């Protein structure tokens, strides 16, 4: 009897066969892909999946990132955005102040406000409701994609309302989708070590589950590149995949490359390009029930974003205008990008740029 000992080649071949036959990858498969240095095979396989799901189309949106407050009760180890009340640079904007800011930067092509901020315990839940209401009244045609699951959990704590009640109040004020932040790494051990003193793993997933049950389609992320193991990342993806099986409520998955606290930090303090591309490709392979994987140029740079479009990514994010959170943590990339640059970037990767709304409805295809 011949005993066949699996080699690296045969294991990769096994994964290739599974992907091509639409079979789900396991924890062991994901771990193997992270251990492999065969980036080209992994990227090519992820590219096949992206083409199967979306053809050559790559999506982007005209959006603006808005931050009502940077005052936050949490002290997450990786965050350089937060301030304490009274700190130099701490701020909490009223709805009217935010409208004034938006009017300075707004143009009629903007389709989405991406709204996140600190967990400010010095204002009531009603402040967060009124913030959305003010924007919706002034810009009724713009989609409000607002707040992370961690913010929803925080609102629940300060208001005494359930997740469902919090979300219902925000929906009445104009909320149409949740942002993906606050996931970090979905591991209790990681969250304890990185002082993620906000929504835990169960709470993060439950907020999204509740939002999906209320008819909201939401976004989700993974902040990788600090103390987590590669297996932690795969388990993170599998928990999201499981919830997507249950609700089909996620629109897109966004891998976020951890930024060092200091913009002057050397390359050894940053994720390598190899690691960023591999993470995007593996995300595409593991998340078989997600339509889109996003390449977030704010964290990985515009040129690497272009390469990522041939390794599993089908979304190049949006124009943003002025990003603050990653840049507070040392991102070296532009704070925003023009529509023309995004179109050029996508076409340069041999793809078809598609302007979309928040829900991936196509607005304009740039053939």
pLDDT single digits (tens) 108-119: 889 999 999 999
In the structure, what pLDDT confidence band is assigned to residue 259 with cuts at 50, 70 and 90?
confident
Q: Kindly give the pairing relationship between strand 143-146 and strand 175-177.
A: parallel
Unique residue bearing structure tokens 């909320």: 175
Q: In what order do the strands lie in the sheet with 112-115?
A: 63-66, 112-115, 143-146, 175-177
User: Average of pLDDT values for 100-124?
Assistant: 93
Unique residue bearing structure tokens 């600190």: 118
- Encoded tokens for 160: 């005494």
Widest pairwise Cα distance in the chain: 78
Selection from 33, 28, 61 nearest residue 252 by Cα: 61
Question: pLDDT digits over 144-199, tens only?
Answer: 999 999 999 999 999 999 999 999 999 999 999 999 999 999 999 999 999 988 99
Selection from 41, 38, 40, 18 nearest residue 28 by Cα: 18
User: Average of pLDDT values for 310-323?
Assistant: 83
Q: pTM score, two decimals?
A: 0.93
Of 253-262, 322-331, 342-351, the least confident:
322-331
* Burial class (CB within 10 angstroms; exposed 0-12, middle 13-18, buried 19+) of 52: exposed
User: Average of pLDDT values for 122-133?
Assistant: 97
Question: pLDDT digits over 220-234, tens only?
Answer: 999 999 999 999 999
Selection from 316, 312, 360, 313 nearest residue 111 by Cα: 360
Contacts 24+ apart (CB under 8 A), 16-19: 16/41, 16/45, 19/45, 19/48, 19/49, 19/285
DSSP string, 84-150: -TTSTT--B--HHHHHHHHHHH--TT--EEEE-----TTS-HHHHHHHHHHHHHH-TTSEEEE--HH
What pLDDT, on a 0 to 100 scale, did the predictor assign at position 353? 97
What pLDDT, on a 0 to 100 scale, did the predictor assign at position 77? 84
Cβ atoms of 210 and 246 within 8 Å: the answer is no
Question: pLDDT digits over 25-65, tens only?
Answer: 999 999 999 999 999 999 999 999 999 999 999 999 999 99
In the structure, what pLDDT confidence band is assigned to residue 7 with cuts at 50, 70 and 90?
low
What pLDDT, on a 0 to 100 scale, did the predictor assign at position 325? 62
Selection from 104, 149, 100, 151 nearest residue 125 by Cα: 151
User: Average of pLDDT values for 126-136?
Assistant: 97
330 has pLDDT over 80: no
Question: Residues of the chain with pLDDT > 70: what percent?
Answer: 91
What pLDDT, on a 0 to 100 scale, did the predictor assign at position 298? 80
């Amino acid at each position: 009897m011949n005993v066949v000992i699996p080699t690296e080649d045969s294991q990769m071949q096994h994964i290739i066969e599974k992907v091509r036959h639409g079979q789900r990858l396991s924890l062991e498969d994901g771990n193997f892909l992270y251990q492999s240095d065969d980036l080209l095979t992994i990227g090519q396989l992820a590219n096949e999946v992206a083409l199967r799901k979306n053809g050559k189309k790559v999506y982007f949106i005209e959006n603006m990132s808005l931050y009502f407050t940077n005052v936050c009760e949490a002290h997450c180890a990786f965050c350089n955005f937060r301030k304490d009340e009274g700190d130099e640079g701490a701020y909490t904007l009223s709805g009217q102040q935010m409208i004034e800011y938006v009017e300075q930067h707004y143009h009629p092509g903007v389709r989405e406000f991406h709204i996140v901020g600190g967990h400010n315990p010095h204002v009531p839940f009603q402040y967060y409701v009124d913030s959305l209401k003010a924007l919706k009244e002034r810009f009724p045609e713009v989609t409000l994609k607002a707040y992370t699951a961690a913010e929803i959990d925080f609102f629940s704590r300060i208001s005494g309302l359930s997740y469902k009640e919090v979300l219902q109040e925000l929906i009445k004020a104009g909320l149409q989708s949740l942002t993906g932040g606050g996931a970090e790494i979905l591991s209790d051990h990681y969250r304890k070590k990185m002082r993620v003193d906000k929504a835990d793993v169960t709470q993060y997933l439950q907020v999204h589950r509740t939002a999906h049950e209320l008819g909201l389609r939401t976004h989700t992320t993974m902040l990788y590149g600090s103390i987590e193991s590669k297996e932690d990342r795969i388990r993170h993806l599998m928990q999201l995949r499981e919830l997507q099986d249950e609700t089909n409520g996620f629109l897109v998955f966004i891998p976020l490359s951890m930024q060092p606290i200091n913009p002057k930090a050397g390359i050894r303090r940053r994720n390598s390009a190899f690691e960023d591309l591999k993470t995007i490709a593996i995300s595409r392979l593991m998340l078989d029930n997600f339509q889109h994987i996003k390449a977030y140029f704010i964290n990985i740079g515009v040129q690497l974003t272009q390469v990522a479009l041939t390794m599993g990514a089908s979304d190049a994010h949006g124009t943003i205008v002025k990003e603050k959170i990653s840049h507070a943590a040392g991102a070296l990339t532009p704070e925003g990008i023009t529509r023309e640059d995004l179109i050029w970037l996508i076409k340069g990767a041999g793809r078809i740029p598609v302007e979309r709304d928040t829900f991936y409805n196509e607005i304009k295809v740039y053939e």
